Copies of this chain bind each other. A is one copy, B any other.
Amino acid sequence: MLSFSIVPYCSIDFIHCNLSKVDVYAIQVDNETFAKVIDGKRVAKDIREEIAVEISKMKEEVGIVPGLAVILVGDRKDSATYVRNKKKACDSVGINSFEVRLAEDSTEEEVLNHISKFNDDPSVHGILVQLPLPSHMNEQNVLNAVCIEKDVDGFHPLNIGRLAMRGREPLFVPCTPKGCIELLHRYDIPIKGKRAVVIGRSNIVGMPAALLLQREDATVSIVHSRTKNPEEITRQADIIIAAVGQPNMVRGSWVKPGAVLIDVGINPVEDPESARGYRLVGDICYEEASKVASAITPVPGGVGPMTIAMLLSNTLLSAKRIHNLR
Contact = CB atoms under 8 A, between A and B. Distances in A.
A16 interface: no
Contacts of A195: 228, 233
A11 to B, nearest CB: 18
B219 A227 contact: yes
Interface string A175-199: 0000000000000000011010000
Contacts of A160: 160-161, 164-165
A28 interface: no
A225 to B, nearest CB: 9
Interface string A143-172: 000000000000011111111111110000
A53 B222 CA distance: 40
Oligomer: number of copies = 2
A219 B211 contact: no
B219 A220 contact: no
A106 interface: no
Interface string A209-225: 00100100101111110
B221 A217 contact: no
A166 B221 contact: no
A222 B210 CA distance: 10
Interface stretch (A111-119, A200-208, A289-297): A200-208
Given A164-B211, A193-B226, 17 more contacts: A156-B161, A157-B168, A158-B158, A160-B161, A160-B165, A161-B161, A161-B162, A164-B207, A165-B207, A167-B203, A193-B227, A217-B224, A219-B221, A219-B223, A219-B228, A220-B222, A221-B222
B166 A202 contact: yes
Contacts of A159: 161
A164 B166 contact: no
A308 B158 CA distance: 26
Nearest to A220: B222
A169 to B, nearest CB: 10
A243 to B, nearest CB: 13
Nearest to A218: B226
A303 to B, nearest CB: 21
A81 to B, nearest CB: 26
25 contacts: A157-B161, A157-B162, A157-B164, A157-B165, A157-B168, A160-B160, A160-B164, A160-B165, A161-B164, A164-B207, A165-B203, A166-B201, A166-B202, A166-B203, A167-B203, A192-B226, A193-B226, A193-B227, A195-B233, A217-B224, A219-B223, A219-B224, A219-B233, A220-B222, A221-B221
